[in-house]
Structure 1
Amino acid sequence: MSRPREFDVDQALRQSMEVFWTKGFKSTSYEDLTRTTQVKKQSLYCVFKDKRDLFLKALALYREQSVAMLEELASREVSPLKKLEAVCDSTLYQNEETLRRGCLMVNSALEFGEDDREVNREVTLMFDQTERILEKIIREGQEQELVTNRRSGKELAAYLNNALSGAKLMEKSGASPEQIAAVLHTSVALMVSENAR
């Protein structure tokens, strides 16, 4: 008969995600993880094969949480332009700690570059899922003649998705919230149709 788990796996994963988010993969030690989760290394190994496996699962959790937040914004009963503004506002970090940490997905893309297929898969998946949500909002705006039809919904979604990623890099590089907000709100303003101005 197998021994029962001695810890809450979901909670340990969320706590580990926070550590990786703060320190990055390479700078995170198992001591950092065991100290934060209060779970012994051997117990963590029983569920997660190694630090890399734990990191990949933490990255997937971060993606799922981020995409769920965007889906919630997209489902609100407001104008598509208000939805796009809300998505942009959600990109801006609320305090110094979150500003310093930046985006776990962008941080991981910068840390690993093109060297890790599985990390790149998570980064690409989040990018694609974000773009699909943006495209849905933009198409809704085009149908209501609020968003320009000079470009397809897919092209505009790709444009805005890149602006959001750029904003996360700006934050990490020390740009002020005002500078970043100006870039994002300009990106949305450029998509507004003549009828909605």
Structure 2
Amino acid sequence: MSRPREFDVDRALQQSMEVFWNQGFKSTSYEDLTRTTGVKKQSLYCVFNDKRSLFLKALALYREQSVGKLKEIEAQASSPLDKLDSLRHSLLDDESGCQGCLMVNSSLEFGTDDEQVTLENELMLEEVQQILEKIIRNGQEQQLISNRFSSKELAAYLNNTMLGVKIMEKSGSSREQIEAVLRTSFAMMLP
């Protein structure tokens, strides 16, 4: 008979995600993970198999949480401009601050050397872009957002700006510098 699990798997995954987010995959040891989660190495192995599998699950969790926040903004009963303003404020008020973005961090750490990490990053980019495109298209239909470029082009531009802001955060740019980039980028979308 197998022993019942003695720890909260979701909590351990969330905590592990935060360790990877702060330190990166290669700099994170199993000791870092067990110290943070309070879960023994063997127990983590039993559930997550190995550090790489745990990392991939952490990336998926990060993607789900990030996309979920964006979906909440998109679902607001407000105008497309208000939704974009909410997005801008969420980027400025992000509590993760100097951590940057786990997806960006992993892209910089792995490049394209790991197919599964690359796939997870591409999936997040695609999901984010689709949500942004929907908000922008709605704004264009209401003539609140410029039609000089397609909704797809503007969504790609905005997505790139968001990723750039995360790199700025990670590299220590001031809130004022980040706010200026966001203000300019969002203003360029106006008619």
The interval holding the TM-score normalised by the smaller chain is: over 0.9
Within 5 A, what are the aligned runs for 1:13-52? 13-52=13-52
Q: How is 1:92-103 mapped onto 2 (pairs within 5 angstroms)?
A: 92-94=92-94, 98-103=96-101
CA distance in 1, matches of 2:178, 2:46: 43
TM-score, scaled to structure 1: 0.93
1:75-114 aligned within 5 A:
75-94=75-94, 98-114=96-112
Identity rate, percent: 67
Give the counterpart of 1:169 among 167, 170, 180.
Answer: 167
Q: 1:10 aligned to 2:10?
A: yes
CA–CA distance in 1 between the matches of 2:61 and 2:76?
A: 23
Take 1:109 and 1:92, find their aligned partners in 2: how far apart are those partners? 22
User: Does the 8 A contact of 2:146 with 2:189 survive in 1?
Assistant: yes
Q: Are positions 1:136 and 2:134 aligned together? A: yes
Residue in 1 that maps onto 2:145:
147
Establish whether residue 64 from structure 1 lines up as the match of residue 82 from structure 2.
Answer: no
List alignment gaps of at least 5 residues for structure 2.
Answer: none
What is the deviation of 1:74? Answer: 0.8
User: For residue 20 of structure 1, what is the amino acid of its counterpart?
Assistant: F
Letter in structure 1 aligned against 2:71: E
Q: C-alpha separation between the residues in 1 aligned to 2:70 and 2:60?
A: 15
| Aligned structure 1 segments of 4 or more residues deviating by more than 4 angstroms | none
What is the count of residue pairs matched by the alignment?
191
Amino acid at match of 2:160: N
Alignment RMSD: 1.2
Which sections of structure 1, spanning at least 5 residues, go unmatched? Answer: none
TM-score by length of 2: 0.95
Say whether the 8 Å CA contact 2:99–2:169 is kept in structure 1: no
